[in-house]
Structure 1
Amino acid sequence: MPLLLYYAQTDLFAILMLLILLLNMRRVSDLKSQPARVFSLLVWSIILNIAADFAAHALDGFQSAAAIQAAVVLLFMLNPVTAYLWFLYTDYYLFGSEERLRKLALPAAAPLAVNAVFALLNPWTGLMFTLDEGNAFHNGKFIIVLYASIYIYLLAAMVQLIHNRKKLAKGELLPMLLYALPPFAGSLVQANYYKVLLIWPLTALSLLVIYTFVQSKTIHTDHLTNLFNRREFDKRLAELADKKHTDNLLAGIVLDIDNFKQINDRYGHKAGDSALRAFCAVMRDSFRQYDFVARTGGDEFAVILELKTATQLDRIIRRLQANVDAFNKTGTLPFPLSVSTGSGLYDPSTVSSPAVFFEMLDARMYENKKKKKQEG
C-alpha cells in the first residue's frame, strides 16, 4: 500500500472519530457555554490541521510551487492554534471563570501572531521552509518559531496545571498532563522525518482520551463548582461507614452559605455563581487534598474526613472560618461570605445509618444558622 494512501486512511479515521465526538457533545452538553465552545474549537482545529497536514504532504513535489507554498503556509499557521486553545481550555478547567478566559484570550495569542507573520512572509523570505528543485518542501532555519509557539502553550498549560493542582480533584492532574505527550512524541518524529504524519492523529487520540475522562467525570461532579455531587457523596459516605479494621475516625461537616438567596436577589444569579466558586476555592485551601468535598444542594456542601483524633475536626473548622474571614478582607466580592456548619463524628453505635448521620449534621448546621441569626 502506498505510504500516502495509508496516511489518508489514518487521517480519515481520526477525522471521523473527532466528528463523532462533536456530535456527542451536541447531544449531551450545552455548546453555547464558553468552555464547550473552546473545546469544540479545539476539536475543529485538530480536524483542520489533519486535513492541512495531509494536503501539504500530498502536494509535496507537485508541479505548482504556488500551490505547495499556500498549503504549507496554511499548515504552519494552523499548527499552534490547537495548543493555544488547549491552554485556554486548561485555564477555564482550573479557574472556571469565563471573564478570566475572555481577558486572557487576546494577550495569550501573541506567540500565535508571531508564528503567523513568519508563515505569511515565508514565500518571500524562505525562513520557515524552502522548496527544492523538485518542489519538495524542507524545514528552514526558523522552523523553530513554529515549534516554539506550540511548546510555549503546552508548557504553559502544564506549569499552570501543576501550580494550581490544589484546584483539581484527586486523580485529575495526571490525565491533563498526559494530554501533551502523544503529540509531543509525534512532533519529535515528524521534525526529523517530515513525511511521517503522526502529530495530528496522535493529538486526536489525546483529545478523545481527555473528552472521555471529562465526560466520565461529569457523571460524578457538579458542573458549576467542579466538586463531587450528592450521589457521589452518599456513595462515598456509605463506603467509609462500612469500612472495617481502621484506626481512623470518620467525621463529617455540612456547610451552608448564609443569606445566599438575598445575594441572588440583590446582585443577580451571576454573582451567586461567583460566590459559590469563591467559597469552593476557600474550601480547597481549608481542607486536605484527600478530604472528600461535595456540593449536595444549591448552596449546601458536605465534607467527609478521616481523622486521627477528634480535636482535628475543630481545628479544621476554625481554619475554614479563618480562611473565609481572610477572603472577605480581599474585597473580591461586593458582599461578605458567611457560612454555617454542622459537624460530628460517625459512631455506628448511636447512628443507625450513613443517611441518618447526614441528617444529623444537616440539623446541626441549621441550629448553627439559627443561633447566628439570633445573635446578630
Structure 2
Amino acid sequence: MVTLKTMDSSLISFIILIFIYANVYNRSEKIFMHNKLFIYMIQANMVLIIVDILAWVFNGLPGTLNLISNAGFNLLLYILVPVAPSLWVIYAHFHIFRDEKRIKKVTRVLMVFIAVNAVIAVMSLSTGWFFSVDAQNIYHRGEYFWVHVGYCYLLLVYSFFYVLINRRLIEKRYYYSLLLYFIPQTIGSSIQMLFYGVTYNWTGMMLSLLIIYFNIQHRGLNTDYLTGVYNRRQMDGYINGKIRNSSDGKSFSAILIDLNDFKSINDKFGHETGDEALKDAVSILRKSLRLNDFIARFGGDEFVVIMDINNREMLEQAVKRITNNIEEFNKSSLKPYKISFSMGFDIYDYNSQLKLDDFFNHIDILMYNNKKSRDSLLT
C-alpha cells in the first residue's frame, strides 16, 4: 500500500513533535496565551498523526469490527482536521493584537464552522459526501471532499493574508516566521491531496510548527515572559554590540524608563493588577516607537529602549511621543491606576569610549534627576 511507504514520515514527525512538546511544556511560560496556543497546535498535530495512522491500519482488513474502526477513525479525522488550521488562525491573531478578548471572539466564530464541518462529516457516513467506506472496507474520497479541503485551505490562506495586511502591527522578528508557516503546511497538504495515499500533510504541519518554534517560541529564552519584550541578558549583548559598532558618524540612543509608583499599584490592587500595569507600560512604548526599536525589561519596573538615533531632536521627539501616549492612556483607560514614567535618555558618545555599565550609570543618573523633579512637583 502506497501509504505504508510514506508512513515513516508521519512517525518521524511525531517523534520530533514529542521533543518540541516536552521542551515547551516544561517551561514556566506555558501559562501565557501564546505558549498555550502553541502547545494546542502541537497536540492537534500529534493527535491527527495518530488518528490518520489508525485509519489506514484498518483500511481493507476483513471483518465488521475492522470496517467500523476504519469508518470511525476516518470520521474522527474529518472532524479534527480543521482544528489545526483554526488554531493557527487564533495564534496569528494573538501575535498581531495581543488581545485575549479578541481571541475569544475569533474562537467562537471558528467553532461554528468546525461544528458545521463535523455535522457534514457525520452525515457522510450515510451520504458519502466527504468520504465513504465500501463493503470491502476500502476508504474512498467523497463527491464533496474538495469542500472539506477548500475549507482547511481557506483558513491557511486567510491567516497568510491577515498577517500580510497587518504587518505594521507585528514585530519584525516575528513577521516573516508567521508568513513562512503557510508554505510547508500548504505544500504537504497539496501533495497529499493530489497524490492519493501519501501522508505528507502532517510532515508539512510539523515543519511549519518547527519554523514557529525556532523563530518565535524558542526566543522566549531571550524575552521577558510577562511582557514579551527582551530580557536583561539579551539587552546586554545587544548594547555591547551597538557600542562595538559605533563610530563618529554612527551611534545610538538609549532611554531608561522607570514605572512610577509600581510598588503602590501592587500593594493597593494586588500583583495581578501590577502585572497588568507592566503590560500596559509596554503597550504604550510599542505604540510610541518604531517596530525595529529595541525594548527590554531592565528590572522589576524598569525598561530600556535602544534606538538607531544619533540626533538629539529625534530622540526628544520619541520621548515626547511616549509622554503623549501616557496622557492619552490615562484619559481613556478604565483601569484603577494611572501610568507614569520617569525617563533618563541620551545619545551614546563614541568619543567617550564609555563601557556598558558606565553609559547606563550616566542615563540612570538622568532618570533619577527626572524622578526627583517629578516628586518635587507633586509635593
Q: Is the 8 A contact 2:222 2:230 kept in 1?
A: yes
> Aligned pair 1:17/2:16, yes or no?
yes
1:102 deviates by: 4.7
Quote the residue 1:315 is aligned against.
317
TM-score by length of 2: 0.89
1: CA distance between counterparts of 2:287 and 2:87?
A: 28
Choose the corresponding residue for 1:326, options 325, 328, 342.
328
Q: Judging changes above 3 Å, is the alpha-carbon distance between structure 1 residues 175 and 69 closer, same or farther for their aligned structure 2 residues?
A: same
Alignment of 1:63-82 (within 5 A): 63=62, 64=64, 65-82=67-84
Alignment of 1:115-264 (within 5 A): 115-131=117-133, 134-245=136-247, 247-264=249-266
1:252 deviates by: 1.2
TM-score by length of 1: 0.90
SS at match of 1:278: helix
Alignment of 1:24-103 (within 5 A): 24-29=23-28, 31-63=30-62, 64=64, 65-98=67-100, 100-102=102-104
2: CA distance between counterparts of 1:84 and 1:246?
A: 51
Note the aligned Cα RMSD (angstroms): 2.5
Q: Judging changes above 3 Å, is the alpha-carbon distance between structure 1 residues 8 and 148 closer, same or farther for their aligned structure 2 residues?
A: closer
2: CA distance between counterparts of 1:79 and 1:92?
A: 21
SS at match of 1:302: strand
What letter matches 2:10 in structure 1?
D
What letter matches 1:147 in structure 2?
V
Alpha-carbon deviations, 1:104-135, whole Å to 9, x = none? 53333222111111111111222212345654
2: CA distance between counterparts of 1:244 and 1:103?
A: 47
2: CA distance between counterparts of 1:269 and 1:96?
A: 20
- What 5-or-longer segments of structure 1 have no aligned partner? none
Quote the residue 2:369 is aligned against.
367
2: CA distance between counterparts of 1:216 and 1:56?
A: 34
1: CA distance between counterparts of 2:149 and 2:30?
A: 31
Quote the residue 1:282 is aligned against.
284
Q: Is the 8 A contact 1:221 1:228 kept in 2?
A: yes
2: CA distance between counterparts of 1:312 and 1:116?
A: 56
> Aligned pair 1:303/2:305, yes or no?
yes
1: CA distance between counterparts of 2:285 and 2:261?
A: 18
1: CA distance between counterparts of 2:29 and 2:243?
A: 37
1: CA distance between counterparts of 2:273 and 2:150?
A: 39
Choose the corresponding residue for 2:348, options 346, 349, 355.
346
Equivalenced residues, count: 375
Displaced runs of 4 or more, over 6 A: none
Q: 90-99 vs 304-313, which deviates more?
A: 90-99
1:148 deviates by: 4.0
1: CA distance between counterparts of 2:245 and 2:335?
A: 41
Alpha-carbon deviations, 1:213-263, whole Å to 9, x = none? 335412221111111111222222221122255633421111111111111
Q: Is the 8 A contact 1:112 1:149 kept in 2?
A: no
Q: Is the 8 A contact 2:21 2:42 kept in 1?
A: yes
Q: Judging changes above 3 Å, is the alpha-carbon distance between structure 1 residues 366 and 18 closer, same or farther for their aligned structure 2 residues?
A: same
1:46 deviates by: 0.9
1: CA distance between counterparts of 2:222 and 2:245?
A: 21
1: CA distance between counterparts of 2:161 and 2:242?
A: 34
- What 5-or-longer segments of structure 2 have no aligned partner? none
